[in-house]
Amino acid sequence: MFQDNPLLIQLKNKLSKKKIKVEGVVKSTTKGFGFLEVNAKTTYFIPSKNMQKVIHGDRIIASIEKKNNREIVYPEKLIEPFLKRFIGSIFKKNNCIYIQPNYPYVKNIIFHRYKTLISRSWKDGDWVIAELKKHSLRDNNYFSVNIIEFISEKNNPLSPWHVILSKHNLEKKSPKCNCLNYLPSQVLNSNRIDLTNLDFITIDNYHTQDIDDALFVEEVDSKKLILTVAIADPTEYVSVDTEIDNVAKKRVFTNYLPGLSISMLPRILSEDICSLQPDVTRPVLACKIIISPNGRIIKKKTKFFLAWIRSQSKLSYEQVSDWLEQSGHWKPKNKNIEKQILLLKKIYKIRNLWRKKNALIFADQPEYRFHISKNWKILNISAEKRRIAHKMIEESMISANICAANFLNQSLGFGLYNTHSGFDLLNAKNAVVFLKKYDIVFTPEEIMTLSGFCKLKRLLAKLSNKYVDYRIRRFQSFGEISFKSKPHFSLGLSSYATWTSPIRKYSDMINHRLIKSVITGNHCIAPPDNVLISHIMDRKRKNRIAVREIEEWLYAEFFYNQDYNNKYYQADITDISRGGIRARLLKNGAFIFIPASFIHKIRDELVCSPEYGVVYLKNKVYCRVSDTITVYLLEIKHETKTIIASLIN
């Protein structure tokens, strides 16, 4: 009886126009309009006009008003801006200077109002670092920025490196230091064992100058081999809390980028004074490892000590591999070097066999190398497999790191340990449910133990199903660093601590100092703290992302300057998003994206499932992560450094 009441209708109309307040994150689109994402299930429409007040990624409070049966967002208050410090490029139009942020989803924002203390005649394409000073939603209805640093000109061949490193606040050059705490002549007087008469050799990449490990093997009898691992000792020159030490602590790693390396230590240290170059005497931290005929390390007889060595020969992976594989013309310069190579190969074989039975080994993956000219042009990109010499050195370093972990744990009870916890309880349960589909039966409790995890991984290696491997890896936790000894499930080891690259990794320098404190009887050394560990993990993540983004930029440049039409490529699917397929070309490692529209024309018949890593077509599995597919390239989007490809059915 009340449905036609005029007063009730008027009240309903008032309520329908009443604005509600919500908090969410702005998501922009390439068409100008956007959405306010309140949670995973709730979004509201932002018209193009209202998007002019916000930036993609901003967290805001907005009012929602219903108009024409559609809920419209009206931004009201800025909680947290997305852009703070950012990379941008300059462009000029109508005698005005504009700054375009270098983010795919911020293309609709261009800054005109700016301030800077930099005295420069700005050119189109100049790369800069800027910071947001005024936000339209907060300050006077407009955006403005401060340009705080000039990075490079558009045509600078080093732009890919400089822009990406600046983006992640990473150093663009190796450090320089005006002073050293010790001079080589002073170090020569320290108390070290003289091993300069032994036939130590180094095996590394041909152009490597920062050589941090040398090896010597002796075969006492048919029952055991003795491996002495000698590691360069920068801590003899770099004292705690000195200028050089603080530089290394900030950088944490030598950053190896395509075509460019930026050292952690001043190059005079890493490539000269500390480097184990041939025919010069160098101070080292050494470890003597006794290995039984079945490949087991006799840990009780492991010995760490300070020594002098004199490398007898600098060898390359390619030379040694060629000789062992009986290809090429290179051969060792004398019988002593030849003997060392053969003994190292013997250690590799027995240690690798022991790890296959008692721990875990990683499957070989190709590495992609950028061949860059002196003027920074990309000449080619090649896939390089790990050869026998790489594996020999790797096995020796793993053995040394196992010994270091045991030594630190037994002597101090702390250090910097590389750890991996396998599965947490929830993911262990999910993994077990998934494995049952392939008739692989485990309990969650079983695969959460080191022995159970190793058993599972060995079984999966025999199954040789890349998709199953991918799904199980998605359930696994990430590697961490701990100051207490914990297992490393991915290696199948009860404890693991690296110390073999101290001129390249600050964490290894720390372990050097800890090991030396035991050797020298210094009992006042403190364990590393969580602040330092967090910093190491953060720098590792930033370096990894920077390498990936520089590679993507270089791949885009490489193909942009090539005729890629009518060429087919094999690629492995690496990931699936709701928008399409991500894959990597097998020939050169380039990352590509295949939009869903180029997989199947009828979008409603296609479902891309990131959760399962599968593309479904008409409710059937069409392809999945780890599959090898054939593609051809369609477009190189130079602005976003994206290579768009199409799938060949």
Catalytic residues: 204, 210, 212-213, 317, 504
Q: Please name the residue that has the structure tokens 């490692």.
A: 589
The span from the CA of 358 to the CA of 73, in Å, is 60
Q: 226, 288 in Cβ contact below 8 A?
A: yes
The span from the CA of 513 to the CA of 238, in Å, is 10
CA distances from 46 to 43, 79, 80 (A): 10, 17, 18
What is the rounded radius of gyration, in angstroms, for the C-alpha atoms of the chain?
29
The span from the CA of 281 to the CA of 277, in Å, is 9
- DSSP for 222-291? TTEEEEEEEEE-GGGT--TTSHHHHHHHHH-B-EEETTEEE-SS-HHIIIIISS--TTSEEEEEEEEEEE
Angle at 624 between CA 618 and CA 630, to 5 degrees: 95
The span from the CA of 543 to the CA of 251, in Å, is 10
Q: 238, 508 in Cβ contact below 8 A?
A: no
- Token pair, residue 391, equals 């594996």
Please report the sign of the dihedral spanned by the C-alpha atoms of residue 104, residue 105, residue 108, residue 109.
negative
The span from the CA of 577 to the CA of 475, in Å, is 18
- Token pair, residue 137, equals 């939603």
The span from the CA of 233 to the CA of 471, in Å, is 42
Burial (CB count within 10 angstroms: exposed 0-12, middle 13-18, buried 19+), residue 119:
exposed
β-pairing, 144-152 with 114-116? Answer: parallel
The span from the CA of 10 to the CA of 24, in Å, is 31
CA distances from 199 to 194, 335, 336, 338, 578 (A): 13, 11, 7, 10, 58
Task: Identify the three-state secondary structure at position 407.
Answer: helix
CA distances from 545 to 167, 255, 367, 521, 645 (A): 11, 11, 17, 41, 23
Nearest in space to 210 (alpha carbons), one of 165, 163, 174, 170: 174
State residue 30 phi and psi, 5-degree precision.
Answer: -70, -10
- Give the DSSP H or E segment for 546: helix 530-560
Task: Identify the three-state secondary structure at position 547.
Answer: helix
Longest dimension (CA), the chain: 109
Q: 645, 564 in Cβ contact below 8 A?
A: no
Helices (H), 53-101: none
The span from the CA of 416 to the CA of 505, in Å, is 12
The span from the CA of 301 to the CA of 290, in Å, is 7
The span from the CA of 525 to the CA of 364, in Å, is 39
